[in-house]
Amino acid sequence: MYCAIDFGTSNSAIAVPDNRADNRADLNGTGMRLVPLEGDHRTMPTAVFYFVDGPEHDGPPRAFGRAAVAAYVDGLDGRLMRSMKSILGSSLVEQTTDVGGGRGVKYLDIIAGYLKHLKALAEAQTGAPIHRAVIGRPVFFVDDDPVRDAQAQAALTRAAHAVGFSEVHFQFEPIAAAFDHERSVTSEEVVLVADIGGGTSDFSVVRVGPKRAALLDRKSDILANHGVHIAGTDFDRRVELASMLPEFGYGSMGPSVLGAPPREVPSGVYFDLATWHLINTVYGPGRVAELRQMRGFYADPKHHQRLMVLVTERLGHELAARAEQAKIEVSEGADTRIDLSHVEARLSVALTEQTAVDAIGGDIDRIVEAARITVAQAGLKPEQIDALFFTGGSTGLRLLAQKIAAAFPAARAVRGDRFASVATGLGLHAQRWFGPQR
């Protein structure tokens, strides 16, 4: 038995061979199926919630996926971990973090625990142990640093081995998406895959076609791949900084002292509050005490008061979640209003599409440039791209997809399943790699 794991920054999925008699969940004739992870949901948020209270069973008491997010939203005492994939390639991987209740867990063990949960759900569905896996990876875990990028894959390999996968094979996520697209083409073509998720924007130029689909070795068909470590979570961060955190003092000025020009309020705490895996660092007693003593730094006392409510009541993740939801609401051109009444009665801020565009415009330009670089590395001109295949949750952002399409006007745009195309393609690759024909 084998599986394919799409371990995403925001959401994850796992595919297994479909050996059941009715084959109702077969991935469109691929012989693979996505495992239901929570009810009928075939994808699950890449999230873990550690409870402060509760007995230990194979590790600290915790919940995964939607249950993890629900525990946090319900205000249960504990710590929510998201965007764990972004830790790979950083020095945090081997560090231990406090998860409450006097417990400390290595960041890599948090990742391993999540993989083990996925594996257990798949084994419950298949009724057999699973020891072999294809795992998707971004083109670059870390931009412009091959050593750290290799370290990131090695760390993920260690986590996979630790939970019982004896054989692990990696495939680039955008190339897996190309395999999904390939099932629908009737003649050979060159496709630029844009896989833009929560943590990375990855591009691959791949030659696909019905005659090539059965080949196990597709190295010659991979003409180029490139990516940047910018995607949905970065958009959320920019939106939060641009629209919400100014109400808490970000970018504001302090009072004038003895006639000297006022100085801008220190911004470090706001950058941490807008970054998922750093939010909890703001809640430490020493940091809270430091922030409390900074009251005189603020010309508007309301800013400092709101910041202290945010920190002392540990509302940082909730604020980040509201930024993400607001980004989704404006992604198709509608304006929205962000409710902040959980911090202060009747407090809210407007978010227009133009504000969001201004906030993330530089990131979008870098992503589009990465697409152009990918095509140039393949030795091709933009007009030689036959198709653009969009996958990943962030491709739902209208402006982003439009700008990428404008850079390749001769290519037809094809939209895959934003949340399942990579998992489907990884399943196809796992079948070819581990299946009977190997």
Q: What is the pLDDT of residues 287-335, one digit of tens each?
A: 999 999 999 999 999 999 999 999 999 899 889 989 988 988 887 778 9
User: What gap in Å lies between CA 9 and CA 152, rounded to an integer?
Assistant: 14
Q: Tell me, what's the pLDDT at 386?
A: 97
| 238 & 172 share domain | no
Q: How many CB atoms lie within 10 A of CB 75?
A: 10
Asked whether the beta carbons of 253 and 265 are under 8 A apart, the reply is yes
Tell me the mean pLDDT in the region 93-117: 92
Total domains, the chain = 2
pLDDT tens sequence across 201-218: 999 999 999 888 877 777
Chain CA centroid to CA 15, Å: 19
**Domain span at 334:** 233-357
**Which of 237, 239, 177 has its CA nearest to residue 202?**
177
Q: Tell me, what's the pLDDT at 57?
A: 77
pLDDT tens sequence across 138-167: 888 887 889 999 999 999 999 999 999 999
Kindly state the DSSP code that residue 240 receives in the 8-state scheme. I
> Is 396 part of a structural domain of the chain?
no
Q: Tell me, what's the pLDDT at 28?
A: 52
Q: Tell me, what's the pLDDT at 21?
A: 47
Looking at 357, 385, 400, the residue that finishes a domain is 357
Q: Tell me, what's the pLDDT at 278?
A: 84
Asked whether the beta carbons of 11 and 43 are under 8 A apart, the reply is yes
pLDDT tens sequence across 164-199: 999 999 998 988 898 999 988 999 999 999 989 888
Q: Tell me, what's the pLDDT at 20?
A: 59
Q: What Cα–Cα distance (Å) separates residue 337 from each residue in 171, 247, 341? A: 40, 14, 12
| 168 & 251 share domain | no
CB neighbour class for 128 (10 Å; exposed up to 12, middle 13-18, buried from 19): exposed
Task: Please state the φ and ψ torsions of residue 47, each to the nearest 5 degrees.
Answer: -145, 145
Tell me the mean pLDDT in the region 11-30: 70
Q: What Cα–Cα distance (Å) separates residue 115 from each residue in 60, 110, 119, 417? A: 15, 9, 6, 23
Asked whether the beta carbons of 229 and 197 are under 8 A apart, the reply is no
Looking at 314, 331, 357, the residue that finishes a domain is 357
Task: Please state the φ and ψ torsions of residue 164, each to the nearest 5 degrees.
Answer: 110, 5
> Is 408 part of a structural domain of the chain?
no
pLDDT of 76 above 90: no
Matching residue, tokens 């997809």: 401
Q: Tell me, what's the pLDDT at 333?
A: 73
Q: Tell me, what's the pLDDT at 30?
A: 61
| 176 & 247 share domain | no
Task: Output the CA angle 160-38-177, nearest 5 degrees.
Answer: 60
The domain that holds 117 is classified in CATH as 3.30.420.40
Of 435 and 252, more confident: 252
| 302 & 429 share domain | no
Length of the chain: 438
> Is 192 part of a structural domain of the chain?
no
pLDDT of 259 above 90: no
> Is 202 part of a structural domain of the chain?
no
Q: Tell me, what's the pLDDT at 137?
A: 92
User: What gap in Å lies between CA 377 and CA 225, rounded to an integer?
Assistant: 8
Q: Tell me, what's the pLDDT at 100?
A: 80
Asked whether the beta carbons of 72 and 50 are under 8 A apart, the reply is no
Confidence at 29, pLDDT banded by 50, 70, 90: low
Q: What Cα–Cα distance (Å) separates residue 2 from each residue in 146, 169, 173, 424, 435? A: 29, 11, 18, 14, 8
| 178 & 81 share domain | yes
> Is 367 part of a structural domain of the chain?
no
Task: Copy the structure tokens of residue 51.
Answer: 């409870």
> Is 368 part of a structural domain of the chain?
no
Q: Tell me, what's the pLDDT at 389?
A: 95
> Is 407 part of a structural domain of the chain?
no
Q: How many CB atoms lie within 10 A of CB 46?
A: 25
Of 100 and 429, more confident: 429
Asked whether the beta carbons of 241 and 269 are under 8 A apart, the reply is no
Q: Tell me, what's the pLDDT at 334?
A: 80
Side-chain-side CA neighbours of 216 within 13 Å: the count stands at 9
Looking at 324, 357, 390, the residue that finishes a domain is 357
| 54 & 159 share domain | yes
Amino acid at 226: H
